[in-house]
Chain A
Amino acid sequence: MYRVVLASRKTVEWIGLLIVAFLFVFPFLWMASTAFKTMPEVRQFPPTLLPETWEWSNFAQAWESGPFLMYTWNSILVAVGILVLQFLTAVPAAYAFARYKFPGRNLLFGLVLIVLMIPGQVIFLPIYVQLSGWGLVNTLWSLILPYAASAFGIFLLRQAFMQVPDEVIEAARLDNASEWKIMWTIMVPMAKPVLVTFGLFSFIYHWNDYFWPLIMTNSDEVRTLPIGISSLHMSDGGTLWNVMMAGNMILILPILVIFFVAQRHIIKAFIYQSK
């Protein structure tokens, strides 16, 4: 009897999970299916779930509508560049916040938390003016530098570093390891799942970011993929949704690949956090 109840509860859980999973996956499937349809089929009602004829040329049309190779290269440089800088700034900052007692620590950490709450759109103008003063507008630097330090990264890593047992650090100090060495060779590997998760968040956010690159750049040489794809959209009607979705598929493909490669670490990070 008890076993039956348990089993049926499992079933209910599974069904619930499947429904939620479907809700999240469906928009992706819909985008993928639209990317392969012909335009009359996109407009057809009732809509078809799978394309009747597979129109592979949508991808070519999206790719050829602008210098997409250049956009892709720029997107990689920007997202990776930001990631590297964020690691280089967040790891020491988080280590200091987690392991040192110094005057003003709480105040400074409070400031980090405040930064976490201000949306970029609110303060874009002063930053734009500053970067313009340095002559950096319309360069890749203007896309990278404003994000060189991440409050979210500092916050997340601090929590992870705080969970490393004191004994580990004491032992390292007894072995005459420098603070620098402790940080990079002991703390960082132990926080690897959190680092991977943060890296993913950061990479995906900046890979997809539309607002900032649009504001900071004027020419194709320094523009990123999301702007290239948005230029497929027509303002007063008449957008080719199939080509647009094909463009979006091109945009998210790298993210999907990275996500599948790294998912083991993400799951670990969440288990780690909830301990």
Chain B
Amino acid sequence: MFSLKKTGTILCALTIGLSGVLAGCGSSGKEQSTSIGSTSQPAASTESSGPVQIDFWYALGGVRGKTIEDMVKKFNETHKDIIVKPAYQGAYQENHSKVLASVAAGNNPDVTMVEIASIAAFADAKVLEDLTPYSQGDEKKYIPGLMKNSYWNDKLYAVPFNRSTPLLYINRDMLKEAGLDSNGPKTWDELVSFSQKLSKKEGDKITRYGFSTPVDIWFYEALVFQGGGNILSENGKELTINNEAGKAPLELWSKMVKEGIMKNPPGENYNAWDVAEQDFLNQKVGMIFTSTGSLTELKKNAKFDMGAAFLPANKTFGTPTGGANLVMLAKSTDAEKKAAWEFMKWMTDTEQTVPWSIASGYMPVTTEAIDSAEMKAFYEKEPNFKVAVDQLQYGYPRPMAPGYKELQDVIQKELQRAMLGQATVDEAMQTATEKGSKLLKK
């Protein structure tokens, strides 16, 4: 409503003329002078004396953001020559826009979190620093199944940090009560038959659904992989979902919705995720797909025996990985890059990733962490937390293409149109392919 005036002259005049009037508006003398005085980088970072200061932008709020802040604090206490300044920058998407803007303006951070499907876009735009010279083989410590989204054109650009996979969450009490295997369905057919038995009707009204999942690109990817398909061609230049494997997920979901055994949770993007989880906790649905990142919270709030299982298989098991990686920015100075690598390495070391995983529900990222006594003891006590790690043997990278962020919006919109009956499955896949191909050619 209140538009911005671009006119530089007005702004200049105002800055000069009214600075007296608004003297109280500067945040603090120090903040003002440092930011006006320096061009883009703090002076301390270019000098060899004194600690190097680097900026780290992260994209997790709430308790998880607090944990990250605590980790950074510990890093700063143990590294006298490096000062990391952490800053929360909104969710993945907001951080994404902001990092790109800051690179254009020349005041970018040195390390940031990037959602794994966006790595290609950043690398392709030459925003990221090639990590190979820094890591020198160190990257072998990470779980191989998590590394597929770290490379672009055979160069290492990212290390895994907060990583997840989708899981099938089940209400074991409900399954037992219906006389079903309390380990959950293993195949799509079983998913359907379990859902039929779990659903309840009173008159014409469905009071309980067997299954629910947000109609989200992430779960769609999983189901396409399970049918032996792929979202993009090998070279990443073509959309390959207008075929049997691409249509099967939509056919499965819409059939289940029509039959009244699956609920299509309403809401845009993450709102639908919230609805699905809410319904699951309230025992309005028996089984849902959601991220392993929700495990801690769901476990805390469920008043029933909650279990996690592999996503059911079609031709095979299959799952994309998700979450975010840490990257280093190409525009930083050499000293900053050296410090940035120290920091990235430290954040993802076994000593940090184990407590981070236990606190957040995300997967630990090093093989050593999974074999550690602490993690093993934890998995012994909480077997649900191990499911995501086990499922990694069927893990696929998220599709890698510079335009995938826009492409996934196109696909998701068509998925929803089909689910709402505004298009047939064939039409939806046709439209998605047409629109998607245009995006990929850009």
* B297: Cβ under 8 A from any A Cβ: yes
Q: Which residues of B contact A138 (CB under 8 A)?
A: 31, 35, 107
Q: Which residues of A contact B28 (CB under 8 A)?
A: 221
Provide the bound-state CA to CA distance between A85 and B40, in Å: 28
Q: Which residues of B contact A85 (CB under 8 A)?
A: 14, 18, 22
Contact A233 B101 (CB under 8 A): no
Q: Which residues of B contact A104 (CB under 8 A)?
A: none
Contact B62 A240 (CB under 8 A): yes
Please, what's the 1-or-0 string for B43-63, where 1 marks a CB less than 8 Å from any CB in chain A?
A: 000000000000101011111
Contact B35 A137 (CB under 8 A): yes
Q: Which residues of B contact A81 (CB under 8 A)?
A: 22, 25
Complex partner residue of A139 from B26, B89, B284, B297, CB under 8 angstroms? B26
Provide the bound-state CA to CA distance between A132 and B27, in Å: 17
Known interface pairs A85-B14, A128-B101; A137-B94 also in contact (CB < 8 Å): no
Q: Which residues of A contact B373 (CB under 8 A)?
A: none
Question: Contacting chain A: which of B177-185, B229-237, B288-296, B349-357?
Answer: B288-296
Contact A145 B35 (CB under 8 A): no
Inter-chain contact count A-B, CB under 8 Å? Answer: 192
Q: Which residues of B contact A168 (CB under 8 A)?
A: none
Q: Which residues of A contact B94 (CB under 8 A)?
A: 214
* B265: Cβ under 8 A from any A Cβ: no
* A178: Cβ under 8 A from any B Cβ: no
Q: Which residues of B contact A221 (CB under 8 A)?
A: 27-28, 31
Q: Which residues of A contact B105 (CB under 8 A)?
A: 128-129, 132-133, 137
| Interface size classification for chain B | 35 or more
Quote the shortest CB–CB distance from A202 to chain B (angstroms): 6
Q: Which residues of B contact A137 (CB under 8 A)?
A: 35, 105, 107
Question: Contacting chain A: which of B121-129, B274-282, B386-394, B416-424?
Answer: B274-282
Q: Which residues of B contact A43 (CB under 8 A)?
A: 278, 281-282, 301
Quote the shortest CB–CB distance from B222 to chain A (angstroms): 16
Question: Contacting chain A: which of B1-9, B311-319, B398-406?
Answer: B1-9
Q: Which residues of B contact A215 (CB under 8 A)?
A: 97-98, 101
Provide the bound-state CA to CA distance between A144 and B5, in Å: 12
Known interface pairs A123-B4, A152-B1, A236-B293; A139-B27 also in contact (CB < 8 Å): yes
Contact B89 A234 (CB under 8 A): no
Contact A84 B2 (CB under 8 A): no
Contact B301 A234 (CB under 8 A): no
* B150: Cβ under 8 A from any A Cβ: no
Contact B63 A124 (CB under 8 A): no
Q: Which residues of B contact A240 (CB under 8 A)?
A: 62
Quote the shortest CB–CB distance from B39 to chain A (angstroms): 7
Q: Which residues of A contact B32 (CB under 8 A)?
A: 139, 141
Please, what's the 1-or-0 string for A143-155, where 1 marks a CB less than 8 Å from any CB in chain B?
A: 0111111111100
Q: Which residue of B lies closest to A133 (CB)?
A: B105
Contacting B at CB under 8 A, from A140-198, are 140-141, 144-153
Provide the bound-state CA to CA distance between A126 and B8, in Å: 11
| Interface size classification for chain A | 35 or more
Complex partner residue of B301 from A39, A88, A147, A201, CB under 8 angstroms? A39
Please, what's the 1-or-0 string for A107-141, where 1 marks a CB less than 8 Å from any CB in chain B?
A: 00000000111111001111111101111111111
* A106: Cβ under 8 A from any B Cβ: no
Complex partner residue of A152 from B2, B36, B89, B298, CB under 8 angstroms? B2
Q: Which residue of A lies closest to B55 (CB)?
A: A218
Q: Which residues of B contact A133 (CB under 8 A)?
A: 105
Give me the interface of B with A, judged by CB distance under 8 Å: 1-8, 10-11, 14-15, 18, 21-22, 24-28, 31-32, 35-40, 55, 57, 59-66, 85, 87-92, 94, 97-98, 101-102, 104-107, 109, 164, 270, 273-274, 277-278, 281-282, 284, 290-291, 293-294, 296-298, 301, 323
The 5 tightest CB contacts between A and B, nearest first, are A238-B297, A236-B293, A237-B294, A234-B62, A132-B105
Known interface pairs A146-B5, A234-B297, A239-B274; 11 further A-B residue pairs with C-beta atoms within 8 A, sorted by A's residue number: A43-B282, A85-B22, A123-B4, A124-B4, A135-B35, A138-B35, A151-B2, A151-B3, A214-B89, A218-B55, A235-B92
Give me the interface of A with B, judged by CB distance under 8 Å: 39-40, 43-45, 65, 74, 77-78, 81, 84-85, 88-89, 115-120, 123-130, 132-141, 144-153, 201-202, 205-206, 214-215, 218-219, 221-222, 227, 230-240
Could you show 21 A-B contacts with beta carbons less than 8 Å apart? A43-B282, A44-B282, A45-B284, A78-B25, A88-B18, A88-B21, A119-B3, A124-B4, A126-B6, A141-B15, A145-B11, A146-B11, A152-B1, A214-B98, A218-B109, A219-B31, A219-B87, A231-B88, A235-B293, A236-B164, A236-B323
